[in-house]
Structures are given as structure tokens and as C-alpha cells.
Amino acid sequence: MSEIKVAVAGASGRMGKMLVEAIADAGDMRLAGALDVAASPALGTDAGISLGKPSGVLISSDFAEGLKDAAFLIDFTRPEGTLQHLEYCAAHGIKMVIGTTGFDEAGKAAIAEAAKKTAIVFAPNMSVGVNVTLKLLEMAAKSFSHGYDIEIVEAHHRHKVDAPSGTALKMGEVIADTLGRDLNEVGVFAREGVTGERDPSSIGFATIRGGDIVGDHTVLFAGIGERVEISHKSSSRVTYAHGSLRAVRFLQDKQTGLFDMYDVLGLR
């Protein structure tokens, strides 16, 4: 069987490097292109050089050049970058795995629209563990629908630019949907000063940023006399990279459509 040709956007970023390495180590894939922003000091360098594994692929900011051999683009960048890549990929039939977080509603709508022209997996967290945790949260939310206060705490490294994390928001959405609530109405994203008592229907979010924390998420169901905490902790970004490669393989026989990691992992 021929190798799957995969390009990586944000190739010199934390996830980009991890993906370049994971593709090199995968027996069924080949790095077919590497993109980064025009201002990146990594432009023109070999995408694998910082890993000590030269790939023969130079990092480019030119979409036509960086994607000329690619059937797939894995994108972990910023929403504004992803939306540019999306337009190009939709026009050229390149399938996408999007891990970028921090999209507004218009950005999410653009991804849904592009999925009418090409096949896309879009998920705020590609790890198996987090997606299984989302299923556990659905189950827990059903049982803790009354008498339990729901709070979501997430912690990430000092470089993360969006808050709360895409994963924390997804956890909130899953719980709110299960309980028939609208996260836009019940989400509480900051507390300061005299806040008044807690609204029992609210879902609170707390954000920690520091050091090199890869990604921790805890959902707290706090009742009277007991509390339950459901936690996931990432110790390496490799889990996101391996999930992304599973998403690429899942998309191989899809032509169009918007999918997430529940689809990839058979959790729906």
C-alpha cells in the first residue's frame, strides 16, 4: 500500500515538531510538506532538523509549495492561520485534521462550511484518554443532575494563549448538553469580589497557567457530604500526535464531512 502523504502546519511549533516526529516514526505515512508563518525563523529549514531527524522537507509559508504533494494537512496553529489553510485545502481537496483551539462561532461555521468540500476531523483534544473522559462525564452528569455543583479546572503551560482550554469548553458543552442546559447561559468564566451565592445551574471554569504543564483537566461534582472529581492529565504531547495520525487514517476513505474524535475512536 502506498504511503499516506501528510503535511503539517505550524511545523516548528510544540505540536508541529511532535507531529513531524510521529509521521517519521509511522510506518504508513510520509511527511509531504511543512508550513509555518511568513515571519517564522524556521522558514527554509528542514522540518526534522531540530529533532535530529532530517526529513528532506523544507518549511515554507507558501501554501502551493508546502501542500503540492499533500493529501492531508494536520493543523495545530492559531485560528487565523487555520482559517487560511482551510480555504486553500477546501479549494484543492486536501483533507484536514484540525487541532487548533480558540475559534469563535464564525470560525467554527467556516470549518463546517469547508467540510462540504473536503473531509475534516476537528477536535479540541486528540488524545484517547480525554475523549473517553468526555464519555465518563456524560454518564456522571446524568447521575449528578441535581444537588451537585459542577466546576471545571484546567491547567496548562505558560505559553498557552487561549482560555479556558478548548478541552475544558468541550467538557462544559458535553455536560451542559447532557443536562439540557445551554453553556452560553450557564457558563461562569470569572469570579471576583462579592459574587453572591452560587447559581445551582451554573458550570464554573477556572484556569491555571504555569511552567511546562502539558494539559490537566478536572471536573468537580460537589454535593453535600461528598464530591467526585474526574481528571485527565497529559504527561506528553505524543498522545495528541498519535490521535491526529489516527484521525488521518480515519479520513482516508472519506471525501467530505465534518468529524470529531468520537467518530475516529468509535465512541459516538
Ligand X SMILES: O=C(O)C1=N[C@H](C(=O)O)C[C@H](O)C1
Ligand Y SMILES: NC(=O)C1=CN([C@@H]2O[C@H](COP(=O)(O)OP(=O)(O)OC[C@H]3O[C@@H](n4cnc5c(N)ncnc54)[C@H](OP(=O)(O)O)[C@@H]3O)[C@@H](O)[C@H]2O)C=CC1
221: Cα within 13 Å, side-chain hemisphere: 19
CB of 10 to ligand Y, least distance (A): 3
Strand order of the β-sheet with 257-259 is 59-60, 29-35, 4-9, 72-75, 95-98, 119-122, 257-259
Q: Answer yes or no whether residue 131 interacts with ligand Y by CB under 6 A.
A: no
Q: What are phi and psi of 89, to 5 degrees?
A: -65, -40
Give CA–CA dist 236/239, Å, rounded: 6
Give CA–CA dist 30/24, Å, rounded: 7
- Give how far Cα 216 sits from Cα of 14, 99, 100, Å: 17, 17, 17
Over the window 188 to 227, marking each residue x when it contacts ligand X by CB under 6 A and - when it does not, the resulting string is ---------------------------x------------
CB of 130 to ligand X, least distance (A): 7
CB of 139 to ligand Y, least distance (A): 22
The smaller minimum CB distance to ligand X, of residues 48 and 124, is found at 124
15 is in an annotated binding site: yes
CB of 92 to ligand X, least distance (A): 27
Interface pick for ligand Y out of 6, 7, 8, 10 (rule CB under 6 A): 10
Residue 156 binds which one of ligand X, ligand Y, none, with CB within 5 to 8 A depending on kind? ligand X
Instruction: Give CA torsion, residues 124, 127, 132, 133, to 10 deg.
Output: -60
**Residues that are catalytic:** 156, 160
Residues that bind ligand X (CB under 6 A): 101, 124-125, 156, 160, 165-167, 215
**Residues annotated as binding site for (S)-2,3,4,5-tetrahydrodipicolinate?**
157, 166-167
